[in-house]
Structure 1
Amino acid sequence: MKQVTSQVVTIEALTEVVYRVVLALPERLNFAPGQYLQVVMGERDKRPFSIASTATELPQLELHIGAHPDNAYATEVLERMREHGQIEVELPLGSASLIEPVTRPLILIAGGTGFSYTWSILQAYLAQAEQPQPVTLYWGAKQLSDLYYHERLQKLAERYAQFSYRPVLEYPDSDWSGATGLVHMAVLAEQAELAHADIYVAGRFEMVRVIRDAFVAQGLPIAQLHGDALAFI
């Protein structure tokens, strides 16, 4: 892990409350798909964000920051980036990165901007010369507009035979034909053999806790469930 000053290249609104941030590092600091960085706001104030890009894009990297107006944790980070045009970061961090070689089917589960964690893993896997195992991404959100890479993921699913995209909405419009409800319930409804897969999950701690308990009860070995939140719940 190393602390460096990164330059803010882009802050782009993806939704009303989610922003795509591109940072330029002063040097190439390698990281594994699924790792994260910490924005250093103070000596004892370090705020983690998943890295959404892959190491092939270095020295630039991408973050997806959910910054609802009442979420000071994230909005303060964006405010500092806009004001100063640079930010102190520490990286790489995290022990829930993609395990290689991939020997079991991959199931990626994201809630909200937890998608950034799964996006890094998905891109890295699909970029390999061969994809020996299928990969399925379940992305849960309240409504369709929250799925800010929806069309991009649909195109990837058309391009790669090994990739399946499963969006899940809690409050869908009347013309929605996809899965509805809670994202982990959609996984349980479609995936009969969890014990045969490696599962990577990111989202609110409450969501990750529910997934851990429900999936282990269905026979998933805990060693095959990956996510940095698991260390805190």
Structure 2
Amino acid sequence: MSQIQCKVDTITPLTDAVYQVVLSPAEPVEFHAGQYILVHMGENDKRPFSIANAAFDSHKIELHIGADENNAYATEVLEQMRNEGQIALSGGHGEAYLQSNGQPIILIAGGTGFSYTWSILQQALKDHPHTPISLYWGGKNISDLYLHDELSKLADEHDQFTFVPVVEFAQEGWSGRTGWVHHAVVADYPVLDNVQVYIAGRFEMAKVARDDFSVRKLPLSNLFGDAYAFI
């Protein structure tokens, strides 16, 4: 797959350690909602990032990059984008993209894994307006859920969409769900034999979730996540 040169339009902080990057590709990037691109840092250095925008909005590429001071892998990409104003990439890659079959869809995100589910959510609301969709987004604190208000508004506007924020460390006044994000799904769905699940987050979380969901009769053919190509 050939690389495509992109102009860096904007780099906007979403939290203290997460940045929204909007790129304008020199030519269209063909992808499905839920796929990722590879940023070409060098001949043998290609770094994956989930595409955050929907496939119907393909004139741009939006990324949500988590880049704290301990994450050189991501901060180096941001530094090159800032310094050069352009970046080369290829995509879309990955097999865990939206493949709706009419069954209810459960989206699960940990941290910046949200960008994967955000792409799928936007596409599904457009292409499958009658399919029930639930998004469970987990973070250590409520401030990590940087599109919380936008998602709550979207849930108010779409009867078939439910947003469930989950925080690991609840602050005073928090009345929502707490703990691990996939545990909230297990609590709400004792049986998962008739749903599709799309998940993005740490490999450890994806592995434990797969085991727990399998016990609840989720067919592996209905479980999607890039992590499962490696674990």
TM-score range, shorter chain: over 0.9
Count of residue pairs brought into register by the alignment: 231
Q: Which residue of 1 aligns with 2:52?
A: 52
1:153 aligns with 2:151: yes
* Counterpart code for 1:4: I
Q: What's the CA shift for 1:191?
A: 1.2
Distance 2:43 2:2 in 1: 14
Distance 1:211 1:82 in 2: 37
Distance 2:138 2:148 in 1: 11
Q: What's the CA shift for 1:43?
A: 1.3
SS at match of 2:193: helix
Q: Which residue of 2 aligns with 1:6?
A: 6
Q: Is the 8 A contact 1:26 1:59 kept in 2?
A: no
Extract unaligned runs of 5+ from structure 1: none
Q: Which residue of 1 aligns with 2:70?
A: 70
SS at match of 2:214: helix
Q: For 1:138-172, what per-residue CA distance to the aligned partner results, in whole angstroms no more than 9, with x for missing partners?
A: 00000010000000000000000000000000001
Runs of 4+ displaced beyond 3 Å: none
* Counterpart code for 1:131: P
Distance 1:224 1:50 in 2: 20
State the identity %.
53
Q: Which residue of 2 aligns with 1:207?
A: 205
Q: Which residue of 2 aligns with 1:136?
A: 134
Q: For 1:105-143, what per-residue CA distance to the aligned partner results, in whole angstroms no more than 9, with x for missing partners?
A: 000000000000000000001123x52320000000000
SS at match of 1:59: coil
State how 1:1-233 maps to structure 2 within 5 Å: 1-100=1-100, 102-128=101-127, 130-233=128-231
Q: For 1:171-219, what per-residue CA distance to the aligned partner results, in whole angstroms no more than 9, with x for missing partners?
A: 0112111110000110000112211100000011111111111111221
How big is the alpha-carbon RMSD for the aligned residues of Structure 1 and Structure 2?
1.0
Distance 1:32 1:4 in 2: 17
Q: Is the 8 A contact 1:2 1:92 kept in 2?
A: no
